[in-house]
Amino acid sequence: MAEPPGAPHRTTGSTLLHPLSGLLGIPLDQINFVACQLFALLAAFWFRIYLGPSHASSAVRHAFATLFGIYFAVFCFGWYSIHLFVLVMMNYGIMNMASIPNIHRYSFVVAMGYLTLCHISRIYIFHYGILTTDFSGPLMIITQKITTLACQLHDGIGRQAEELTAEQNRLAVKSRPSLLEYLSYLLNFMSIIAGPCSNYKDYIAFIEGRHVHMKLLEVNWKQKGYDRLPDPSPTGAVMYKLCITLVSLILFLTLTKNFPMAYIIDNEFLDKTPFLSRLGYLYVVTQAAKPKYYFAWTLGKSGYTTYFCG
């Protein structure tokens, strides 16, 4: 079953890689996404080596992570990235002006409300848009982070320690973050495109160089023969995740070529195929689409692993 030819793919993001898109026959927005994720992986190694806590201050590390994240967002989504920045700044205002007992409620309503409006406008008003760029993924990641931080801030300032579970106590945020810390947490280059969503205290511990010490203190490293805290290497974990991304990519390209999603709206398929066969094909094509997300998420986590072993 051949996939019917579609309209040429356009994007609001950068057109720098348009020749590569034409050569490979892959939509430009997807090329931009993969290029940013691969570049982020390389940048994470550079960040780990040259901007480690012993080489740069926390402010420099925050600023670098934020500026690169903003650049990646603009490169991938162009003017659509304004939605990300608007949501971030609206909730920064809420975080600083709202009362602590209500900060998590207001943050949730605004973040989820803005995300919902963006989804509705793309689907029902613009019919998924003339341009193919989908900015909803990063918007959902930022929404998760905003609501997570708001709840942890409420736990840290608005509740007593005895009211919290051990995990809530560990993650509770005791003071409102500065603008730079807030922007770095939400827009850092290793999570802005495809996540993952980390906890605020873990992220700040990483920026300040405390995260490795915190993790290794959980194991009895002296009994394992170390005379000091060992410096963990991300190489093995990163290579494992890159292998998963490669397998996911091969599966996605193979399955979607043989079971194209566009066939489910083909008139002949709709008119002549029995209902149960159509239902079965729909199940198959949705399963065939899953490796695309495994590819994106695992590639993002491979860079994040490098980033957090700094």
pLDDT single digits (tens) 89-141: 999 999 999 999 999 999 999 999 999 998 888 777 765 554 556 788 899 99
Angle among Cα 252, 303, 70 to the nearest 5 degrees reads 100
Same domain assignment for residues 201 and 271: no
Give the type of residue at 247. V
Angstrom CA distances, 272 to 157, 277, 291, stand at 62, 10, 30
Same domain assignment for residues 175 and 276: no
* 99 inside domain: yes
* 7 inside domain: no
Nearest-CA neighbor of 193 among 29, 69, 86? 69
Same domain assignment for residues 137 and 248: no
Nearest-CA neighbor of 21 among 138, 132, 134? 132
Same domain assignment for residues 31 and 172: yes
What whole-number distance in Å separates Cα of residue 40 and Cα of residue 52? 16
* 28 inside domain: yes
Its domain, for residue 60, covers 17-224
Same domain assignment for residues 88 and 200: yes
What SS3 state is found at 14? coil
Query: What global pTM score does this model have?
Result: 0.83
* 12 inside domain: no
Angstrom CA distances, 75 to 37, 88, 244, 247, 256, stand at 12, 18, 26, 27, 27
How many Å is the Cα radius of gyration of the chain? 22
Give the pLDDT confidence score for residue 211 in this predicted structure.
66
Same domain assignment for residues 66 and 172: yes
What whole-number distance in Å separates Cα of residue 35 and Cα of residue 23? 15
**Ordered per-residue pLDDT tens for the chain, 310 residues:** 333 444 445 678 888 998 998 898 888 888 898 899 889 888 988 888 888 888 899 999 999 999 999 999 999 998 889 999 999 999 999 999 999 999 999 999 999 999 999 888 877 776 555 455 678 889 999 999 999 999 999 999 999 989 999 999 999 999 999 999 999 999 999 889 888 888 999 899 888 887 666 565 555 555 555 555 556 667 778 888 889 989 998 998 888 888 888 888 888 888 888 989 889 999 999 999 898 888 888 888 776 666 665 4
Last residue of a domain, one of 173, 201, 224: 224
Angstrom CA distances, 231 to 65, 216, 221, 234, 276, stand at 22, 10, 12, 10, 56
Same domain assignment for residues 219 and 248: no
Give the pLDDT confidence score for residue 203 in this predicted structure.
92
Give the pLDDT confidence score for residue 1 in this predicted structure.
39
What whole-number distance in Å separates Cα of residue 69 and Cα of residue 184? 8
Last residue of a domain, one of 165, 200, 224: 224
Give the pLDDT confidence score for residue 29 in this predicted structure.
85
* 38 inside domain: yes
Give the pLDDT confidence score for residue 66 in this predicted structure.
96
User: How many residues can be counted in the chain?
Assistant: 310
Give the pLDDT confidence score for residue 239 in this predicted structure.
86
Angle among Cα 5, 11, 12 to the nearest 5 degrees reads 160
**What is the DSSP secondary structure assignment for residue 198, as one 8-state letter?**
-
Q: How many domains does the chain have?
A: 2
Last residue of a domain, one of 193, 224, 255: 224
Same domain assignment for residues 213 and 293: no
Same domain assignment for residues 102 and 133: yes
